[in-house]
C-alpha cells in the first residue's frame, strides 16, 4: 500500500474522460445550488474564506475535492494502515474541531431556549441580555461549524489518498453537514439581528 501523495490528482484514462472531468469541475457547484436567497451572505462568506492547505476558497475547494472523490475507484475499500504520525496528528486535530462544534452547538441550543423563554418576560433588560447571549452563541456556532468543515476538508486536501473511497465519500458528506450547520447558524444570526 502506498503512502498518500500530496498532489491529490488521479490520472484519467482517456482524453474524453479528461475533457468531461474538466467540464465537471467548471460546472455549477451542486452544494451552492442548494442555497436559497436568504443564504446570500453565507454563500458570499464561503467564497471568501480560504480553505486550509490551498489558496482556493472554501467553496471552490469543497467542489474540487467532491469532484475528485467521484473519480476514485469504488472498489478501493481497504482501510489504510500506513498513516504517518503527522497524519494521525492532523486527523486528531480536525476531529477536535468537530468535537468543539458539538459542544458549541449544545450551548447555542440552551441559549436559544433561554432567549425564547425570556421573550415572554416583562423584564426588557433580561430579554436583551438573553437575545445578545443567543446571538453570541449563534456566532460561535457559525465559526465552529466553518472551522470543522475547513479542518476536515483541509485534511482531505493534504492527504487525498488517506481514506478509502467510501470513507472519503462519508467525509465529503460530513463537510456538507458542517456547512449546513454553519448555514443554519447564519440564519439564526439574521433572526437575532432583527
SS (H, E, C) 116-134: HHHCCCCCHHHHHHHHHHH
C-alpha to C-alpha distance for 184 and 188, rounded to whole angstroms: 6
Q: Per-residue pLDDT tens for 97-112?
A: 999 999 999 999 999 9
- The answer, as to whether pTM is greater than 0.75, is yes
Q: Per-residue pLDDT tens for 64-117?
A: 999 999 999 999 999 888 999 999 999 999 999 999 999 999 999 999 999 999
Amino acid at each position: 500500500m502506498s503512502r498518500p501523495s500530496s498532489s491529490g490528482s488521479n490520472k484519467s484514462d482517456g482524453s474524453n474522460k479528461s475533457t468531461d472531468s474538466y467540464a465537471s469541475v467548471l460546472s455549477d457547484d451542486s452544494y451552492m445550488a442548494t442555497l436559497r436567497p436568504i443564504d446570500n451572505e453565507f454563500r458570499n462568506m464561503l467564497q471568501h474564506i480560504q480553505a486550509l492547505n490551498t489558496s482556493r476558497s472554501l467553496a471552490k475547494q469543497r467542489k474540487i475535492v467532491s469532484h475528485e472523490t467521484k473519480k476514485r475507484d469504488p472498489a478501493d475499500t481497504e482501510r489504510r494502515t500506513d498513516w504517518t504520525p503527522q497524519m494521525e496528528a492532523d486527523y486528531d486535530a480536525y476531529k477536535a474541531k468537530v468535537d468543539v462544534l458539538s459542544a458549541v452547538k449544545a450551548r447555542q441550543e440552551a441559549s436559544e431556549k433561554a432567549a425564547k423563554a425570556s421573550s415572554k418576560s416583562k423584564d426588557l433588560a433580561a430579554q436583551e441580555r438573553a437575545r445578545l447571549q443567543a446571538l453570541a452563541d449563534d456566532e460561535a456556532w457559525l465559526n465552529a461549524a466553518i472551522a470543522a468543515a475547513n479542518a476536515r476538508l483541509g485534511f482531505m486536501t493534504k492527504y487525498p489518498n488517506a481514506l478509502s473511497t467510501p470513507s472519503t465519500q462519508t467525509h465529503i458528506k460530513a463537510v456538507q453537514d458542517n456547512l449546513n450547520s454553519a448555514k443554519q447558524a447564519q440564519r439564526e444570526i439574521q433572526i437575532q439581528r432583527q
